[in-house]
């Protein structure tokens, strides 16, 4: 069986960050039907602001619908196919051998299932003292001496995941959740801990391994310093090497904010819901910054709901993250959310995440990206069209000024649609069209050209728009 899943990308990703963007399509090869396993129900995780579950919500659409631009970059992306609902059965392999109780040893596996295992597995499993899942119902891939990584990888170095097969003789692959240049993410059952997880399998290339190691280091530190899981950062459960691939095991979350926008017809979410999400993201950003980490790729796709139909969220994908003292890459962030200092070649700080937050919140409100540039030059033109020309105090620090400016001012750029953008011709309040002026003011402080004057996470929590939302949350959870 072979299923193909579309996953279009709306904007360019920073190439040196190790994950420059998602390809438009990919495929998952399966040689057997899905195993009868489904996700168990998880208890709600605590909100960053209080210990009770996040309050239920529905996606409320506002105003008259705004159709997204007709450019292919902004067109709705095809959703991933929904995995079939199946029942949990953690004893799948024991039905033919009811006396076998997992975990088993390699010696027991060889005695009982030698004929059902590949020759490679019969040698590989001896490195694992306990085996929790063998994937016996799945046709095994035969290693190829001339194939990439003995035939386990495709030509790009991505692991060829097979539904129903195992990872590390513990995790059962259920379905594909996503794929990018970093590798792929699969939904899997952890047969040791009896839970469903997400496993990120990093591409078998040196630079991706190196960046993956940084992601592990960052997430381990953030998790250890947040034992009560209140800061809104995805939890890393484990990491290991399997068949030359670095694998990261995460808690399984729900829809992304982009999915929420798409499911609402790209018309935007209610302002009250946006504020609840914003508060959690600011708390997460304050925590990340306090630990001297820069996320470097905050966008709707990288913020997931903890549970469907609840407003609790978590920040994911630290694959481009870095420590403030160990900034390796100069070109980062997905284009629509890229801070001006990154484009202009100015040394960046954690303030770039605040810029991305402003772009993200504006998109949640309108349903479409705030600065939908079709190239790096057009991206800066989009910013100037709304915010005006950057001040000279910013431009004088730019190492790439001549790429975008002449002595008389910004270079005239015609985008792919034949449009010339005029600096200062639009106003932020007219683009966002929010009935709440305090929301527009908050966005304007996130979108300051100068990173030194851009609002900080600490100050953001004191902004009137945010404070009013915090008061509502506190009132909602206070005893009657």
Instruction: Give the strand pairing for 166-167 and 183-190.
Output: unpaired
Residue 291's CB is within 10 A of a number of other CB atoms, namely 16
Dihedral sign (CA 141, 142, 143, 147): negative
Contacts with 220 (C-beta within 8 Å, 6 or more apart), sequence order? 236
C-alpha 254/C-alpha 305 separation (Å) is: 5
* C-alpha atoms less than 13 angstroms from C-alpha of 6 in its C-beta half-sphere: 6
Q: Could you say which of 297, 353, 374, 378 is catalytic?
A: 297
- Mapped to the 3 state alphabet, what secondary structure does the chain carry? CEEEEECCCCCCCCHHHCCCCCCCEEEEECCCCCCCCCCCCCCCCCCCCCCCCCCECCCCCCCCCCCCCCCHHHCCCCCCCCCCCCCCCCCHHHCCCCCCCCCECHHHHHHHHHHHCCHHHHHHHHHCCCECCCCCCCCCCCCCCCCHHHHCECCCCCECCCCCCEECCCEEEEEEEEEECCEEEEEEEECCCCEEEEEEEECCCHHHHHHHHHHHHHHHHHHHCCCCCCCCECCEEEEEEECCEEEEEEECCCCEHHHHHHHCCCCCCCHHHHHHHHHHHHHHHHHHHHCCEECCCCCHHHEEECCCCECCEEECCCCCCEEHHHCCCCCCCCHHHCCHHHHHCCCCCCHHHHHHHHHHHHHHHHCCCCCCCCCHHHHHHHHHHHHCCCCHHHHCCCCCHHHHEECCEECCCECCCCCECCCCCCCHHHHHCCCCHHHHHHHHHHCCCCCCCCCCHHHHCCCHHHHHHHHHHHHHHCCC
State yes or no: is 297 an active-site residue: yes
Is the CB of residue 174 less than 8 Å from the CB of residue 186?
Answer: yes
Burial of 199 (0-12, 13-18, 19+ CB in 10 A): buried
What are the residue numbers of the active site? 297
């Amino acid at each position: 069986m072979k299923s193909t899943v579309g996953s279009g990308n709306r904007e360019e990703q920073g190439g040196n960050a190790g994950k420059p963007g998602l390809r438009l399509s990919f495929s998952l090869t399966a040689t057997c039907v899905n195993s009868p396993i489904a996700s168990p129900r998880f208890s709600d995780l605590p909100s960053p602001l209080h210990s009770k579950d996040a309050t239920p919500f529905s996606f409320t659409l506002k105003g008259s619908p705004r159709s997204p631009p007709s450019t292919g970059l902004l067109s709705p992306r095809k959703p991933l196919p929904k995995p079939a609902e199946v029942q949990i059965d953690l004893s799948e392999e024991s039905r033919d051998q009811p006396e076998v109780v997992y975990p088993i040893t390699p010696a027991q596996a060889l005695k009982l299932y030698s004929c059902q295992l590949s020759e490679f597995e019969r040698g590989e499993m001896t490195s694992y003292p306990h085996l929790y899942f063998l994937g016996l119902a799945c046709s095994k891939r035969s290693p190829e001496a001339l194939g990439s990584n003995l035939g386990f990888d495709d030509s790009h170095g991505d692991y060829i995941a097979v539904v129903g097969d195992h990872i590390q003789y513990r995790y059962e692959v259920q379905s594909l959740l996503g794929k990018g240049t970093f590798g792929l993410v699969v939904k899997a059952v952890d047969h040791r801990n009896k839970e469903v997880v997400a496993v990120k399998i990093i591409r078998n290339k040196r630079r991706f391994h190196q960046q993956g190691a940084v992601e592990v280091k960052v997430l381990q530190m953030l998790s250890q310093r947040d034992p009560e899981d209140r800061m809104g950062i995805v939890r890393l459960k484990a990491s290991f090497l399997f068949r030359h691939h670095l694998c990261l095991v995460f808690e399984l979350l729900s829809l992304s904010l982009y999915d929420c926008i798409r499911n609402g017809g790209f018309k935007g979410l209610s302002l009250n819901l946006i504020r609840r999400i914003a508060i959690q993201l600011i708390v997460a950003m304050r925590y990340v910054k306090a630990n001297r980490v820069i996320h470097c790729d905050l966008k709707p796709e990288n913020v997931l709901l903890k549970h469907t139909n609840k407003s609790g969220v978590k920040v994911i994908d630290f694959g481009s993250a870095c420590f403030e003292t160990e900034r390796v890459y100069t070109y980062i962030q997905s284009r629509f959310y890229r801070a001006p200092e990154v484009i202009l070649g100015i040394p960046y700080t954690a303030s770039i995440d605040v810029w991305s937050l402003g772009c993200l919140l504006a998109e949640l409100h309108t349903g479409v990206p705030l600065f939908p540039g079709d190239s790096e030059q057009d991206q800066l033109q989009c910013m100037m069209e709304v915010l005006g020309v950057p001040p000279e105090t910013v431009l004088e620090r730019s190492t790439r000024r001549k790429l975008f400016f002449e002595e008389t001012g910004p270079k005239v750029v015609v985008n792919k649609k034949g449009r010339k953008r005029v600096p200062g011709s639009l106003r932020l309040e007219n683009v966002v069209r929010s009935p709440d002026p305090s929301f527009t003011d908050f966005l304007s402080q996130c979108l300051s050209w100068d990173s030194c004057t851009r609002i900080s996470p600490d100050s953001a929590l004191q902004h009137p728009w945010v404070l009013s939302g915090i008061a509502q949350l506190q009132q909602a959870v206070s005893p009657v």
